[in-house]
Structure formats: C-alpha cells, structure tokens
C-alpha cells in the first residue's frame, strides 16, 4: 500500500457523477485460422475513476495541499473504495489536477478529481471473507443467504 492516506477531514465522493471505467486486460487478436481458443491474459490495467464531492474552503485547501505538497502531484495514496459494502482501502493516483467550481451560494465548492485505481480487493476474493462466508456488512457481520 501507499505511504499516504486520503485526509480524514475530506468528504466522501458523491454518488452523482461517480464514474469508473477501464479495460479488462485481455489481448484479443485475429489469426488466419480464426480466434485463439484462450486469449492471452495480462495484468489488469488500472481503472480510471472520476468522482465529485462538495467541500468548504478549508477542505478545498486541504485537498490542493495534499495533491501538490504531500503527493508531489504523482505519488499514490490510499483511500477507501466507497463502492464496496465494507469500504476496503485501495491505492489510487491522481491523473490530473483537481478541478473545482462554486456550488450554490456561500463559499462551497464542487470538486472533481480524476484518479487511477492501482489495486483491487487487496488480493482477496471480493465475495468472501476467507472463511467461506459471503459479503460482510462493514461491522464484522457476514451476510449469508
């Protein structure tokens, strides 16, 4: 995991506008005799994540300082994956400078970040807890059918 963590004073990303995409990491090629039976597999490429959140002036300054000073614009950082029920921590890297615009009245801002998710599921099976149970609820309880 990365040496730096997402600052605790920053809000969680909004569901509205959250976008994740990427390639599956499988190389497909045509041969004169047709498709290969088993496509070559490569390491899954990083997923691109675009997220937005609302923050005040102090939180905006914290984010910009985190990006420019702490991460030196390119270093990876750890942040919970908010799309999973137990919010496992995964590694991200900024793809570009955070953008922001005024959000409503007052001094609130809508910040948009473009990230690259470098790790997935911390090397574990995403639907299990290692003991055969299905997903957990985030409080240490397992969900079973």
Quote the mean pLDDT of the chain.
79
Of 51-60, 87-96, 135-144, the range with the lowest mean pLDDT is: 135-144
- Tell which wins on pLDDT, 16 or 94: 94
- Tell which wins on pLDDT, 30 or 115: 115
DSSP 13: P
pLDDT band, very low/low/confident/very high, at 110 (cuts 50, 70, 90): very high
Contacts of residues 94-100 at CB distance under 8 Å and 24 or more positions apart, as own/partner, are 94/67, 95/48, 97/67, 97/73, 98/63, 98/64, 98/67, 100/60
Between the CA atoms of 23, 24, 27 and 32, what dihedral angle is there, to the nearest 10 degrees? -100
Mean pLDDT of all residues in 114-122: 78
Q: Which pTM value belongs to this model?
A: 0.69
pLDDT band, very low/low/confident/very high, at 24 (cuts 50, 70, 90): low
In this prediction, residue 137 carries a pLDDT of: 63
The DSSP bridge pattern shows strands 99-102 and 89-94 to be unpaired
pLDDT band, very low/low/confident/very high, at 125 (cuts 50, 70, 90): very low
């Amino acid at each position: 995991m990365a040496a730096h963590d997402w600052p605790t004073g920053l809000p969680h990303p909004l569901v509205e506008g959250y976008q994740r995409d990427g390639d599956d990491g499988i190389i497909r090629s045509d041969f004169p005799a047709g498709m290969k039976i088993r496509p070559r597999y490569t390491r899954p490429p990083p997923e691109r994540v675009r997220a937005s959140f609302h923050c005040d002036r102090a939180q905006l300054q914290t984010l910009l300082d985190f990006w420019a000073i702490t991460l030196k614009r390119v270093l990876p950082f750890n942040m919970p994956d908010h799309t999973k029920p137990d919010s496992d921590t995964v590694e991200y890297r900024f793809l570009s400078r955070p953008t922001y615009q005024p959000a409503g009245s007052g001094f609130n801002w809508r910040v948009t970040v473009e990230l690259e998710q470098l790790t997935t599921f911390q090397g574990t099976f995403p639907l299990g807890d290692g003991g055969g149970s299905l997903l957990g609820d985030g409080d240490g309880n397992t969900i079973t059918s």
